[in-house]
Structure 1
Amino acid sequence: MSVTILAIESSCDETAAAVCKDGMILSNIIASQSVHEKYGGVVPELASRAHMQNIVPVVDQAIKNAGITLTDLNAIAFTQAPGLIGSLLVGTQFAKSLSLSLGVPLIGVHHMQAHVLANLIPDEKPSFPFLCLTVSGGHTQIVLAKSALELEVIGETIDDAAGEAFDKTAKLLGLPYPGGPLIDQYAQLGDPLKFKFAEPQIPELNFSFSGLKTSVLYFLQKQTPEFILENRNDLCASIQYTIVQILLKKLVKAVNQTNVKQVCIAGGVSANSGLRTGLISLGQKKGWQVFIPDFSFCTDNAAMIAITGYHKYLSNQFVPLSVNPSARAEW
């Protein structure tokens, strides 16, 4: 029997909907929120309001682009955790209402699990087991994927996430929000070895980025605004290089420990050009099979919720209509 799933993602400031049929993505619609730029970060109340405005047209467009009707749906998948609770509530309540009205099952999806499984969307995909370096604004993890629904976090940040390190250091440089993509942009014009910043030495496969941020802060405090502006490209390149090296060194350690040589990346920071090129180069040197998702599947999107929902559907992993979202949740 054919399985068609509508997926909804609303964990932060992206309202997204996608349709998946038998593991193939038929549509993937995302509505971004520019309202947060002037505040230098996501404002939870404004995010939830924007979700309420966007969710109906986004879902409607996803259905139309997929060439189906609501009656063709076999289940509704949605991001259950983690995220901003107000944003999650909008997506959850919409999904629950649609599930009830259509009489189809409801599938709760963990946002970080979905990032990992975004690697199963392309035609060229890894086989199990594989390692996934999942890097976003709120999380930095190394995940051992034994199957689509059997994922083990074998390393994670003990303080800040890599994406937060990009955004916070960008703010220190005087760059507007979101600063991570701007660091990437300027880094491509700079010398990554011009400035040396701290690489925290954390045991095992865990990460830390608080020391790096402090290192950048102390260095910039000693400089003049003119110096920072004149050396902006080199500063961005050096910061990006340091963050990428921290990530890749741990990934090498993970491969050596697990002997798993199929390696993927996921999450918003996986769109970073330095990380993508660095992983490709490292993979060629080490003899790894490297898989990198398209940019559209790196940042928050509903296609990754849909593919995860599809695998959970096949395993009859449904949630009741009484389900509630969670701002934080373990896998």
Structure 2
Amino acid sequence: MRYFLRKLGFFLGTLWAVVTLNFMIPRLQPGDPAELMVRRLQGKDSQLDTAQVEAMRSMLGAPDGSLWTQYWAYLADLLRGDFGVSYTYYPFSVAEVIGQAIWWTVGLVVVTQIISFVVGIVLGAYAAWRRNSKLDTTITLGSTFLGTLQPFWIALVLLYVFGYTLGWFPTSGGYSASTPGLNMFFIEEVLSHSTLPAVALLIVTPIGWILGMRNTMIMNLGEDYIRLAKAKGLPDRTVALRYAARNALLPSVTGFALALGSVLGGTILVETVFDYPGLGRLMGEAVSNKDYPLLQTLMLLTTTGVLIANLIADLLYGVLDPRARRAEG
């Protein structure tokens, strides 16, 4: 019990620090979003009217008062679920904008992360069990080579070959002109638009799981309990799966939880290349447009998601491996 309470205390303390930093960082950025929007409406070379800037700041609901007052108002707004109005998509609120984009990112990144984890763990375990074989060499060298490639470069190649040259898949967006709904035509459009972004992620995402699982399992294969299992005459399949792979999988649990937690951050480069309507593209737009309410909400979602995933991984690790609880005690 002490182990779990300690992990929960660390989570709450880190969450408070994240919320405080998320409040401070946007306010330390140079520039005024209200001035930026006024210049965008009037033109860059026009004379800036301070009255219009004040009116725009009031319309956007820009915070005023001392920093301490703003901080408590910010915490109160968070408890109410009020994240403000998006400067980029005014007059829509940040919650509405994120609510429309989050399912695109979750559908794309969660599916690719799960597939990548399963494929990476299986290939890494098999390569470790057949270490120094031709298959192990092929998997290891292939993963190392693909690891040197950037995801956005792979996305550009896929877009050029299968989108523009062959015309097999759409080149941008999440769907075409059809009305969204639970019908086969719309589902087919969503799948066709998400195929290239998913392939771009699936090419590079499993690499970390493959190499990590292989190296950890090779270390476990040299342990005494593996030699004891072999001395007992257990089948190779049992030794590989129930002993070596099971223990080698434990460190990957934390990594997989963190990967799922970071889903809320989206994949900025891949989503931007394919103009995919997810959270990654939203974050890029928020940065370029100085949309502080949208940017700090996306940052808060991402960091909170990672913290929650890390907490779940720590609690799950304590259940799966009793040694962690005993070490904590």
TM-score normalised according to structure 1 size: 0.25
Richer in strand (by share): 1
TM-score normalised according to structure 2 size: 0.25
**Greater Rg by CA:** 2
